[in-house]
A = this chain, B = another copy of it.
Amino acid sequence: MKLMTPQELEAALRDIGARRYHRLHPFHTLLHGGECSKCQVQAWALNRYYYQAMIPIKDASLIARCDDQATRREWRSRLADHDGERDGEGGIARWLKLTDGLGLDRDYVTSLQGLLPATRFAVEAYVHFVAEKTLLEAVASSLTELFSPAIIGERIEGMLKNYDFVTAETMAYFSARPPQAKRDSEFALDYVKQNAKTPEQQALALKALAFKCDVLWVMLDALYYAYVSPGHISAGAFAPA
């Protein structure tokens, strides 16, 4: 292995996004193109809720392992973005406006009863990864946010155009995210470029981003398998009425 310059490392990270980010997943093609039924959109929002709900848990576990005050302070803004300042604010609350708008019962959503087991496994793999790997790997695993503004733009436009049950208000989560994702991913990218100082560390950072792409991808595989290909809904998981 050969040491890359920081610019080469960034290019390699962006190449992983270009090849493996879930923007390319066939479920998203259906979702954004108006080819999902309302039930399929509900299943997506319900399962993705668990990912949203666990984000502050994984971010706090990163802060808990970080002995640099400036990094902890910067990472803290992610907690504020997701948990907000009071009930009804923040990213998780905005996600629940989406599930509300889709006609899902809020207690049912937050109970997690309807989750696909694969969603649970994928999300928990991410949480454990961040809690257990090196800080560099934990930070690098967040870099899927480098690629999220583009997918969010496609999603807002596609879903508002194609589904009469989706409104700008229920999509509030997505309209708030791009500036947060931009700020967070720029910080994380700088961190990785500065702290991956050996070929081994650079390889671990790339592997961490690939792992995170896998997490997001597997969540959509599970949705596709359960709700697009017929007949595969796991016992106990959300099912169309």
Q: Which residues of A contact B (CB under 8 A)?
A: 53, 56-58, 60-61, 63-67, 69-70, 72-73, 76, 79-80, 83-87, 90, 92, 131
Contacts and interface: CB of A to CB of B under 8 A. Distances in A.
Contacts of A80: 76
Contact of A61 (B53, B60, B70, B85): B60
B61 A67 contact: no
A86 B86 CA distance: 23
A64 B67 contact: no
28 contacts: A53-B67, A56-B69, A57-B63, A57-B67, A58-B64, A60-B61, A60-B63, A60-B64, A60-B72, A61-B61, A61-B64, A63-B64, A63-B79, A64-B64, A69-B83, A69-B92, A70-B87, A72-B79, A72-B83, A73-B83, A73-B84, A73-B85, A73-B86, A76-B76, A76-B79, A76-B80, A76-B83, A79-B79
Given A57-B64, A57-B66, A58-B64, 17 more contacts: A56-B69, A57-B65, A60-B60, A61-B61, A63-B63, A63-B79, A64-B64, A64-B131, A69-B83, A69-B87, A69-B92, A72-B83, A73-B86, A76-B76, A76-B80, A76-B83, A79-B79
State the 4 A-B residue pairs at the shortest beta-carbon distance, nearest first.
Answer: A60-B64, A61-B64, A60-B63, A60-B60
Please give the count of copies of this chain that the complex contains: 2
A58 B66 CA distance: 11
Contacts of A63: 56-57, 60, 63-64, 79
Contacts of A92: 69
Given A61-B61, A131-B64, A56 B83 contact: no
Contacts of A65: 57
User: Which of A60, A80, A90 counts the most B-chain CB atoms under 10 A from its CB?
Assistant: A60
A63 to B, nearest CB: 4
Given A61-B61, A64-B131, A72 B56 contact: yes
Nearest to A58: B64
A139 to B, nearest CB: 15
Contacts of A67: 53, 57
Contacts of A90: 69
Nearest to A53: B67
